[in-house]
Amino acid sequence: MITDIESATPALCRLQLGSELRRLRLATGLKASQVVKRLLWSPSKLTRLETGENTVVEQADVMALCEIYQADEETRTHLMGYAAVTKTKQDWWQSPKYRPVIGPVFKAFLGLEATASSLHTYEAEFVPGLLQTEAYVRVLHENALAGLRNEEVDRQVLVRMARQEVLRRALMPLRLTAVINEAVLHRRVGDGEIMRDQLTHIVEVVEALPNVKIQVVPFAAGAHPGMNGKFTVLRFPENAALKSIVYLENLADAWVSRRERDIDRYEEAFTDLQALAPGPVESLNMIKKAIKEH
C-alpha cells in the first residue's frame, strides 16, 4: 500500500486502489461476475475499477466493495483515501493547458506511463523523451513538426517536461532503461551548445538517478533488431491487474498493443539490443566523448 497517500498522483492511487480491490476479491474467492450481480453493476464497471481505468473513483463504490469483501478498518481507510485523491487532484495531462496538444492515444499512454513500474525504450533518431532538455524539445518541434504555431510548440515543450517527473516522483519512481542508436549522439539538433547541454543532461540524470540506465548501440554493431524503428515497452507492478504494453508511433499515428506475442517480440528485441551495446559505464563514456565533439 502507499503510505503517504496525499503526495501520490491520482494515476498511482487508481492503480493501487484497483490492485487492492482485486486482491481482496480473490482472497474472498469471489468471481467478478458474482460481485457485479450482487451490486447490480455492469461487468465493465468492476473491470475498470480493478485496472485503474476510471479517472474518478466514487467512494460509495469502494465502500460497497469493502462491505462485500469484509475488509478491515485500516484497509478501508486506505482505499477510501485513494478514492478521495482521484476526486480532489487532477493528473497533469488532464489540465486545459495540455489537453489541446495531446491526442487520445498519447493521452492513454501518459496514463499508463504514470503508473508503470518500468519502461524499456529504443530510440534510433532522438534522445528519449524522458531525457530531453527543453531546448532540444523546442528545436525538434520547430523543425521536425514544421507548421506548428509558437503557442503549440510551447505546449509541446511543457508536455515533455511534465512527463519527466515520473523519474523523480517520491513514490515508486519509474525505472527507465533506454537503448539509443549511436546516431543520436551525433545528429545535431540545434547548434553545438544545445547538443552539448543535451548530452550533458543525460549524463547528469543517469549519474544522479539509480532508476535510470542508458546504453548506446555503436555503428560497429552492424545490423540489429532496432532497425525497424523505435519502440517502448511498459511494465506494471506485479500486483496490478495490468498487462505489459508496447507503444509505437510514427509521424502520422501512434498505437498500443497488449498482445503477448508482440510484448515478447519487442522485449526479446530489447534484450538483444542491450547485449549488442556496451555496458552502461562504457556507454556513458561514449556520450561524454560526443559532448567534446560538439
> Which class is domain 95-293?
alpha beta
124: buried, middle or exposed (CB in 10 Å: 19+, 13-18, 0-12)?
middle
41: buried, middle or exposed (CB in 10 Å: 19+, 13-18, 0-12)?
middle
Band of the pLDDT at 4, cuts 50, 70, 90?
Answer: low
Residue with cell 521536425: 144
pLDDT, mean of residues 148-158? 83
Bridge-based pairing of strands 175-181 and 212-217 is parallel
Cell (9 digits) for 61: 463504490
Nearest residue to 110 (alpha-carbon basis) of 130, 83, 84, 125: 130
Measure CA of the first residue to CA of the last residue in the chain; give whole Å.
Answer: 47
56 CB contacts (<8 Å, ≥6 apart)? 86, 87
Average pLDDT over the chain reads: 90
pLDDT in tens, 15-25: 888 888 998 99
pLDDT of residue 64: 94
Q: Distance between CA atoms of 212 and 139, rounded to whole angstroms?
A: 24
Band of the pLDDT at 97, cuts 50, 70, 90?
Answer: confident
Residue 252 pLDDT > 80: no
Triad 67, 3, 241: Cα angle to 5° = 60
Q: What is the DSSP letter of 7?
A: G
The CATH number of 5-90, from 3.40.50.12280, 1.10.10.10, 1.10.260.40, 4.10.520.10, is 1.10.260.40
Band of the pLDDT at 147, cuts 50, 70, 90?
Answer: low
Domain with CATH 3.30.870 in the chain: 95-293
Domain with CATH 1.10.260.40 in the chain: 5-90
